[in-house]
Amino acid sequence: MKYFIVDVFTDKVFGGNPAGVCLLDEWLADGVMQNIAMENNLSETAFLVKRDGFYDLRWFTPEIEIDLCGHATMGSAYVLFNFVETAAEVLSFHTQSGVLTVERKEDMLWMDFPSRPPAPVEKYKVIGESLEINNYEVLKSADILIVLENEEAIKKVKPDFELLKKVKQEAGMPSDVFCVIITAPGSDCDFVSRVFAPNAGVNEDPVTGRAHCVMIPYWSKRLGKTTMKARQLSKRGGQIWCEDAGERVKIGGKAVLYLQGEIKL
């Protein structure tokens, strides 16, 4: 099968978040796709099957299938725009999280994703212990959002990932498919973040589209603006353009090709 690795939310290789993209004629067995994702050992590998006017899309971490992934959706769109659907301007993907679209505008790709506004909850004890923080606010939707006071506090966090896994029980998360997001106002952008998903086999994700489905409605309300710029402060780092569109969010970024080849089964 044709296989690509695309660095997403960056304009340079070795930046952003690398996504594996597999183009299929029909679905492989779930176990085979999980093994491919484990072999790739990227935070997510996307699998696509073309249908009549759209693509079915699924995402796997090295350990589990997940219900929503931003960077691997943008990486999939990048591959299709450049190698398959070269005349297209908008692509439609059918996923576990509904229909997602990606539009290309010059050198930018814009994803249309569901908004997941978080609501305040108690300060889970394991959060403070595992991240070694004291002054924080906790909110929850499909993911857990922790708000810190400033960008420097985000940079200083050194998680105990084994302890952080225990937030699943304390927060009553229904499965392992969730992120723990830490965020704060940015010094040269509207907000910054880091994202952890140890329950899903990804200790720290380099740049996370799905996390912005939670952060965009939060920061839009807090800042009183609908268009924003964000940065994710992982080692690789990435830039994200954001728009609050009510029940949907627009997530923009750039992407570059790192690898093109074939997987032999």
pLDDT category of residue 191 using cuts at 50, 70 and 90: very high
What is the C-alpha end-to-end distance of the chain, expressed in Å?
8
DSSP line for 73-89: HHHHHHHIIIII-TT-S
Amino acid 4: pLDDT = 98
Two tokens, residue 95 = 């996923």
Helix or strand holding residue 144 (H, E): strand 144-147
Buried b (16+ CB within 10 A) or exposed e, 226-242: eebebbbbbebebbbbb
Give the per-residue pLDDT at 23: 98
Q: Within the chain, which residue ranges are assigned CATH 3.10.310.10?
A: 2-112+252-262, 119-250
Q: Which residues lie closer than 8 Å to 81 by C-beta, 6 or more apart?
A: 88, 91, 104, 109
pLDDT digits (tens, 9 = 90+) for 124-139: 999 999 999 999 999 9
Q: What are phi and psi of 11, to 5 degrees?
A: -115, 10
- Please name which of 53, 54, 100, 49 lies closest in space to residue 73, comparing C-alpha atoms: 100
pLDDT tens digits, one per residue of 210-264: 999 999 999 999 999 999 999 999 999 999 999 999 999 999 999 999 999 999 9
Contact 107, 254 (CB under 8 A): yes
Q: Which two tokens stand for residue 230?
A: 């964000």
Average pLDDT over residues 201-208: 97
**Side-chain-side CA neighbours of residue 175 (13 Å):** 8
List 39, 44, 65, 103, catalytic entry? 44
The verdict on pTM exceeding 0.85 is yes
Cβ pair 5, 42 in contact under 8 A = yes
| Residue 44 annotated in active site | yes
Q: Give the pLDDT confidence of 41-82 residue by residue, as tens digits.
A: 999 999 999 999 999 999 999 999 999 999 999 999 999 999
Q: What is the pLDDT of residue 11?
A: 96
In this structure, what is the dihedral angle of CA atoms 135, 133, 228, 7, given to the nearest 10 degrees? 180
Instruction: Extract the tokens encoding 262.
Output: 């074939």
- pLDDT single digits (tens) 15-39: 999 999 999 999 999 999 999 999 9
Q: Concatenate the DSSP letters of all residues of 11-63 into one string.
A: SSTTSSEEEEEEEESSPPPHHHHHHHHHHHTSSEEEEEEE-SSSEEEEEE-SS
Instruction: For domain 2-112+252-262, give the CATH superfamily.
Output: Diaminopimelate Epimerase; Chain A, domain 1 (3.10.310.10)
Predicted pLDDT at 83: 98
| Domain 119-250 listed as CATH 3.10.310.10 | yes
> pLDDT at position 57, please?
98
Helix axes 209-223, 71-79, angle to 10 degrees: 120
